[in-house]
Amino acid sequence: MRILVAALGAGLLLSAPAGAQVPDKLIGCSAEPDDAKRLACYDSVVKAISADARRVSEAREAEAAKAKQAAAAAAAAAATAAAVQAEETRKASFGKADSAAEVKSVDASISEILRDASGKPVFILDNGQMWRQADGFNLPNAKVGTKVAVKRGAMGSYRLQPENSNRSVQVIRMR
């Protein structure tokens, strides 16, 4: 950078009458303690030299603006991906005893139905969650492949309800 400024300054000294004013401006720029302001000052002096220097400077500024815009778009995409991941994490912890997630319900499909030692159904969902039926009511519409919603119930309980059904059963998360 200093070599460029020195070469620029030497070229300016040899130029036309405007060259007499430019070294004073460069000296003024070099006195600026803030790097960004000093660079902006040098850029403004270079733009004043010629139309070619102005075009080069404007092209560089346009590239910088594009890079800033691309960085902002990448940051927005990363924030969106982080939000989606956080939502998936909250859904995965839904129904666990130590879960503080504020998810109200989880939609999934039944991938398998097992029976526990007392004969109550245990529903394994396609999202990996396992729910055991807590009450004694039968859920006739519950079959493998049935879409279900597990919702928060009263007093910390959870209810499993098949899609297109008004019946639900109380369940306890096992996994």
φ, ψ of residue 135 to 5 degrees: the values are -100, 175
Q: Which residues contact 22 (CB under 8 A, 6 or more apart)?
A: 9, 12, 15, 45, 48, 49
On whether the pTM is more than 0.75, the answer is: no
pLDDT tens readout for residues 9-62: 545 444 544 445 667 777 888 888 999 888 888 888 888 777 887 888 888 888
Chain-centroid distance, C-alpha 31: 42
pLDDT of residue 66: 92
* Model confidence at 151: pLDDT above 80: yes
Chain-centroid distance, C-alpha 38: 35
For residues 116 and 122, the answer to whether their CB atoms sit within 8 Å is: yes
pLDDT tens readout for residues 90-129: 666 666 655 555 667 788 888 888 888 887 888 888 888 8
| Rg, the chain, Cα only | 34
